Amino acid sequence: MKTKRRQNGTLTVFFAVISVLIITVKAQESRPPVRFFDLTTAHGIVDERPLHPATVFAPDEEVIYVWYAAEGCAIGTTIRSAWVYLETDPPFRLADASVVVEQAGTWGQFNFRLAPGKRWAIGRYRIELWVGDELVASTYFEVSPRTTVSRRARVFSGERTDSSPGSDGIARNSA
């Protein structure tokens, strides 16, 4: 009798666990995939938009911002940025920062502020946006001794290349 009760109890727990897993998988299937697009490097963020978008910055620029439009970021999603200097072999990771989405929205930003008295090294940089172990989007910028007319940020986001800003807020953080 005891063996039969344990088996029934084990089966009940097993079916409960399977049911929870199925519900979780179905919920994830119905949720759109996380997507970041319209990544724009800029001199600031004002009114939820990039201020003076650029891909070329001066070495003495104190803060560089990356603004992005987002879809599919549920509350609780952790977004991580990685700032990478590309002029070394292998490329040098300057910083990582992360933020947990606390409110629904359709945009976000990260920024990198240099320590007082420091300057950006001349060369190319990449900013990567990650969710979990997945690289969702990246963009590039350059630091040049002579800044020229601003160019829009080049964007990698799966198969889409686009560079026009969107609206509303999702997450803010500093690298």
Q: What is the pLDDT of residue 162?
A: 32
* Eight-class DSSP state of 86: -
**What is the distance between the alpha carbons of residues 103 and 98, in angstroms, rounded to a whole number?**
15
| H-only helix segments in 31-151 | none
Is there a contact between 68 and 155 (Cβ–Cβ < 8 Å)? no
Question: b/e map of 149-173 (b: 16 or more CB within 10 Å)?
Answer: eeebbebbbeeeeebebbeeebbee
**What is the distance between the alpha carbons of residues 164 and 152, in angstroms, rounded to a whole number?**
9
pTM (two decimals): 0.68
- Amino acid letter, residue 112: F
Q: What is the pLDDT of residue 5?
A: 52
Question: Tokens in use for 107?
Answer: 């945009």
Q: What is the pLDDT of residue 89?
A: 96
Q: Are strands 35-46 and 63-71 parallel, antiparallel or unpaired?
A: antiparallel
pLDDT digits (tens, 9 = 90+) for 21-63: 344 444 445 667 889 999 999 999 998 899 999 999 999 999 9
Task: Kindly give the parts of the chain with pLDDT less than 70.
Answer: 1-31, 147-175
Strand partners, 173: 110
